Structure 1
Amino acid sequence: MQSELQVCNRCVMDSTDSKIVFDEHGVCDHCHSFDANVVPNWHTDAQGKEELKALVAKMKKDGEGREFDCIMGMSGGADSSYMLHVAVKEFGLRPLVFHVDGGWNSQVAVNNINVMIDKLGLDLYTEVINWEEMKDFQLTYFKSGLPNIDVPQDHAFIATLYNFAEKHEIKYILNGGNFSTECVRNPLEWLYHGSDLSQIKDLCKKFGTRPLKTYPFSSVLRHKIYLRYIRKVQVVKALNYFPYIKEDAMAFLQDEYGWQSYPQKHFESRFTKFYEGYWLPEKFGYDTRKVQFSSLILTGQMTRAKALEELAKPALTADDARQEFEYVATKLGITVGELQKYFDAPNKTYRDYKNQEALFRVGSKVLKLLGIERAVKR
């Protein structure tokens, strides 16, 4: 029950994260992880400015004689949209804007991508995922009873971007990911690794109904080790090098480009809106707004009181949830009753299927020891 939950006294993470640990002051380990691992390594001052300046100079030099000096995935969300503006207008980079269409774009997202591209005078490359394969893959996850049913979209986005970068020998991938709005990570039990091919293969064998012949797969070893260290493909999260205040960025995008905001982070996808706004909180009790709001609290962009006020309300109204439920069922070619059957089925965890959790843990420890990744709590 909600009254039995322990909520962090500093952020709004709570014991719906079964692995959460509180100190004697009621402050959680997500907050301590931020203090110990993010703050000391996050430079948005003069140091960050100089590091970014040097990085941009290298990107431009490596891009000499080429049509593009980097590639950037574009979802239409605030982070990627603002990153695109900064890359072009402030850094003078020449990105190829890359969009993966998994079949669930909202009209607002499509509009946001187009207004940015048009005003900046950029080229847009769109990769369309085979819908019949995507649909079957998504139904596989619904049948599995796992919480992380957005893996088919997420995996396709990442794999397609890396595949394109490798094929066209593009060495830099601009990424809108940032500490400012994402310093708290979703617990592993909520959103397990979407690049665990062992688990994906197990699920497809158990619940899939067709071979995924054209769907883009990429293993964690491929994009964490092979592409990064052998092919020298570098992911650049430029928003980490200077102050990034999301509310200010969205206001700027609205004024400058006619960009439109979303009710919640990740709602540029109709499926993700349904998944994070209804399916996760109602079926599993996992509300990703707690992670998002906690990040904003720790970075001084939201008060804890405001976060608690917002969390007291559902992410989607009852009418919106019903409409999205019907939309998703229709889009997937199933009845509302069948989707309800999946909702009512027993909940599973990633440990109920084959997985490479041990490999991920070892790899993460090695990368942390080498100083390549930060030990942010999941």
Structure 2
Amino acid sequence: MEVDRKKVQVCTRCVMDNISDSTIIFEADGTCNYCNDALKAIDTVYFPDESGKRTLEAMIDRIRKEGKGKQYDCLMGISGGLDSSYVAYLGHKYGLRVLLLHIDDGFDSKVTTENISRICNTFKLDLIVERPDEAQFNDLVRAFILAGVPDICLLQDSVLFSILYRTAVKNKIGYFLSGFNFSLESITQSGMDYTDRLHIRDIHRKFGQVPWTGKLKLFSIFDKRIKYGFFHNIKSFKPLFFLDFNAGRAFSELNEACGYEFYGNKHCESTLIKFLQVYYLPFKFNIDKRKSHYSSMIVSGQLTRKEAMEKLKEPQFDDLIFNQEIDFVLNKIGMTKDDFDRIMSEPPRLHSDYRTSYVNKMTATILKMRKKLLGY
């Protein structure tokens, strides 16, 4: 999306702007709806104090009691990133029998694989590694790039949650631990819903090359709300909402506890997500994901606006090294550099240019209404 540089406006509190987001709303004082909504919600959802600790410990006790007589108390997906890794560490500290699930889609960085091994070996946690159908998954990634849409990461989420819930049922586990948090993720730009299976299949029908066999299981809104949420009553708990989750301290704690190593910016534990965040999104859509990450840290007091503005001036990648990573991703999905360059030069497309589920649209509308009323 092109924006007249004379009309570029940056929030006076955080670093969100209108360069890639036409939906952003600025108040008279120059602050934006993103940080205003986050600050409105903070006292309702985030408890980095003694009351949060009490809630956390009470919930841990509840999970432990409901897991009595079973092999595991809870299940969690681990990407190797900071958030999920720290939650796995918390589960260990509180004595929970946590079963870890990792989706190896072929795009893990070396440090990610090593970090997951360190966590499992040091904290004696069991790990299941699932490898989704490679040909089908890579073809989906390729199809989404050909479609020219931004939210390609939803493919990983759809596959993850499909496997996660089936694993929970198989092992009779009633609780998930989630690494989602307010501290680093209070500000996120609206994206496509990973539970819209109809949307994913429509793009594959239009741009996919590998015939759909059904080997790759996708997650739907029905699965989330009805099948697993209602009939199986699987619940999710987000422990990082109930403690003072600071990125720097969390990394230091993990490093000291198990030798956990730094992998780069948020979510760059995956070569695919790194490729999307530092190249595909910025150069095709003018979307710099660091802005929402840093803005969340401003809201939670981990970063000043001045510090964030300085960090945004830093290059996101080393040309030589990253060109090798681009080649790796393109080779994995079977796309030539010429075809990719052509796609990058074409106008970006919206997810709404393709079929979407009516049920998902209604759910999104309800969630927006709730956020407008309650701030979260």
TM-score (normalised: structure 2): 0.93
1:360 corresponds in structure 2 to 360
The 8 Å contact of residues 368 and 375 in structure 1, kept in 2 or not, is answered as no
The 8 Å contact of residues 184 and 293 in structure 2, kept in 1 or not, is answered as yes
Alpha-carbon shift at residue 305 of structure 1 (Å): 0.9
What SS does the aligned partner of 1:266 have?
Answer: coil
The 8 Å contact of residues 195 and 219 in structure 1, kept in 2 or not, is answered as yes
2:239 corresponds in structure 1 to 238
Structure 2: which 5+ runs fail to align? none
2:258 corresponds in structure 1 to 257
Q: More displaced, 43-52 or 120-129? A: 43-52
Cα distance, 1:335–1:245 mapped onto 2, change above 3 Å: same
Q: Does 1:60 align with 2:61?
A: no
Give me the whole-angstrom Cα distance separating, in 1, the residues matched to 2:207 and 2:340: 15
The 8 Å contact of residues 368 and 374 in structure 1, kept in 2 or not, is answered as no
Cα distance, 1:375–1:156 mapped onto 2, change above 3 Å: farther
Alpha-carbon shift at residue 157 of structure 1 (Å): 1.4
Q: More displaced, 284-293 or 53-62? A: 53-62
1:302 corresponds in structure 2 to 303
Q: Deviations over 1:265-305 (max 9, x none)?
A: 00110011111011100111001100100000000001111
Q: Does 1:77 align with 2:77?
A: no
Give me the whole-angstrom Cα distance separating, in 1, the residues matched to 2:35 and 2:314: 24
- Return the letter of the residue paired with 1:152: L
Give me the whole-angstrom Cα distance separating, in 2, the residues matched to 1:8 and 1:224: 36
Q: More displaced, 112-121 or 309-318? A: 309-318
Q: Does 1:31 align with 2:40?
A: no
The 8 Å contact of residues 39 and 299 in structure 2, kept in 1 or not, is answered as no
Q: Does 1:193 align with 2:197?
A: no
Q: Deviations over 1:290-327 (max 9, x none)?
A: 01000000000011111111112332233344222222
The 8 Å contact of residues 103 and 129 in structure 1, kept in 2 or not, is answered as no
Alpha-carbon shift at residue 153 of structure 1 (Å): 1.8
Give me the whole-angstrom Cα distance separating, in 2, the residues matched to 1:7 and 1:202: 36
Q: Does 1:147 align with 2:150?
A: yes
- Return the letter of the residue paired with 2:199: Q
Structure 1: which 5+ runs fail to align? none
The 8 Å contact of residues 38 and 374 in structure 1, kept in 2 or not, is answered as no
One of 170, 177, 186 as aligned partner of 1:167: 170
Give me the whole-angstrom Cα distance separating, in 2, the residues matched to 1:76 and 1:233: 23
Give me the whole-angstrom Cα distance separating, in 1, the residues matched to 2:81 and 2:368: 29
Cα distance, 1:3–1:314 mapped onto 2, change above 3 Å: farther
Q: Deviations over 1:217-248 (max 9, x none)?
A: 11123213432232110111111111111110
Q: Does 1:47 align with 2:51?
A: yes
Aligned residues: 370
Give me the whole-angstrom Cα distance separating, in 2, the residues matched to 1:80 and 1:20: 29
The 8 Å contact of residues 100 and 128 in structure 2, kept in 1 or not, is answered as yes
What SS does the aligned partner of 2:108 have?
Answer: coil
- Return the letter of the residue paired with 1:134: F
- Return the letter of the residue paired with 2:224: H
